[in-house]
């Protein structure tokens, strides 16, 4: 098993990429700390892991709040003795997010507080724990829109994910000599509840699909497998990357300098 003996903290673990990753990490031998504000969904994730013979703990965590991020890391260490993997995955895509002219300030602030500040706070409290464990892996969920503009306007979301990508690069450089790897997972458009609620019409969905060479939305389970690689020793020389898993969309639109 790729993560035998490891402890992994995953935010946004109640659904989507977070849940699929929690299940996969547990199946690969990790003890999982599942964090979310959705208590019912988070508890269901833990139950699914335990029913399959794994070890997991649910912690209610609003990643936009420092006290919650501090507590989730403290509980990981107190329950399982250490923290080796931090997956800052929690995020939102507000249906009111649009172009700069019409997006309201409260939508911008909410998106930044969860998508960007939440990653910062996870790292603020998680990195000392990784140091105490002798090193580890941090995975921050960014997006293909950190590299491209989105076909459907979502200015706050796109800006927040660009910030995640830049922060990931700096963290990777700063902590490389401390045996801490930091990478950004950049999913393409996925068939998850988060995106499907945003792409709430067939017209919006087709505007995304037409740009994807693979011709389909990705699956959360596919992102979990990418996260597993980044979390495991298979990626021991991988840090500071934008790990793009997007069905070819950036290859079709990004021109090399």
φ/ψ of 50, rounded to 5, equals -65, -35
- Which residues in the chain belong to E strands, given as ranges? 7-11, 31-36, 55-60, 85-88, 136-141, 180-187, 242-245
Residue 172 has pLDDT above 90, yes or no: yes
Measured CA to CA in angstroms, residue 86 lies from 105, 115, 131 at distances of 30, 15, 12
Selected catalytic residue, list 125, 157, 237, 253 = 157
7-253 CATH pick, 3.50.50.60, 3.40.50.720, 3.55.40.20, 3.40.30.10: 3.40.50.720
Instruction: For residues 226 and 47, give the distance between their C-alpha atoms in angstroms, rounded to a whole number.
Output: 24
How confident is the model at residue 256, as a pLDDT?
60
Residue 255 has pLDDT above 70, yes or no: no
157 is catalytic: yes
How confident is the model at residue 254, as a pLDDT?
65
Residues 57-80, mean pLDDT to the nearest whole number: 98
How confident is the model at residue 257, as a pLDDT?
57
- Which residues in 146-196 belong to E strands, given as ranges? 180-187
Residue 150 has pLDDT above 90, yes or no: no
Task: Please check whether residue 150 is in contact with residue 127, taking contact to mean a CB–CB distance below 8 angstroms.
Answer: no
- Non-local CB neighbours of 110 within 8 Å, separated by 6+ positions: 92, 94
pLDDT tens across 201-217, in order? 777 777 777 788 988 88
Q: What is the pTM of this model?
A: 0.94
Q: Where are the domains of the chain?
A: 7-253
- Non-local CB neighbours of 15 within 8 Å, separated by 6+ positions: 36, 38, 41, 192, 193
């Amino acid at each position: 098993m790729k993560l035998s003996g490891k402890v992994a903290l995953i935010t946004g673990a109640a659904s989507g990429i977070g849940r699929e990753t929690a299940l996969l990490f547990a199946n690969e031998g990790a003890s999982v700390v599942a964090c979310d504000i959705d208590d019912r969904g988070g508890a269901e994730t833990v139950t699914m892991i335990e029913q399959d013979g794994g070890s997991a703990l649910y912690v209610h965590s609003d990643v936009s709040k420092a006290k919650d991020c501090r507590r989730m890391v403290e509980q990981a260490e107190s329950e399982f003795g250490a923290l080796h993997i931090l997956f800052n995955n929690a995020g939102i895509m507000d249906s009111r997010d649009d172009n700069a002219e019409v997006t309201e300030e409260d939508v911008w602030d909410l998106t930044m507080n969860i998508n960007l500040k939440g990653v910062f706070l996870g790292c603020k409290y998680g990195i000392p724990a990784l140091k105490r464990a002798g090193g580890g892996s941090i995975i921050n969920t960014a997006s293909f829109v950190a590299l491209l503009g989105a076909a459907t306007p979502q200015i706050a979301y796109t800006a927040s994910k660009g910030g995640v990508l830049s922060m990931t690069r700096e963290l990777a450089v700063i902590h490389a000599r401390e045996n801490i790897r930091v990478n950004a997972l950049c999913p393409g458009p996925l068939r998850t509840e988060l995106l499907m609620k945003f792409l709430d019409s067939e017209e919006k969905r087709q505007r995304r699909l037409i740009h994807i060479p693979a011709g389909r939305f990705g699956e959360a389970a596919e992102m979990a497998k990418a996260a597993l690689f980044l979390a495991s020793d298979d990626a021991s020389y991988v840090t500071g990357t934008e790990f793009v898993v997007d069905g070819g969309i950036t290859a079709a639109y990004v021109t090399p300098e």
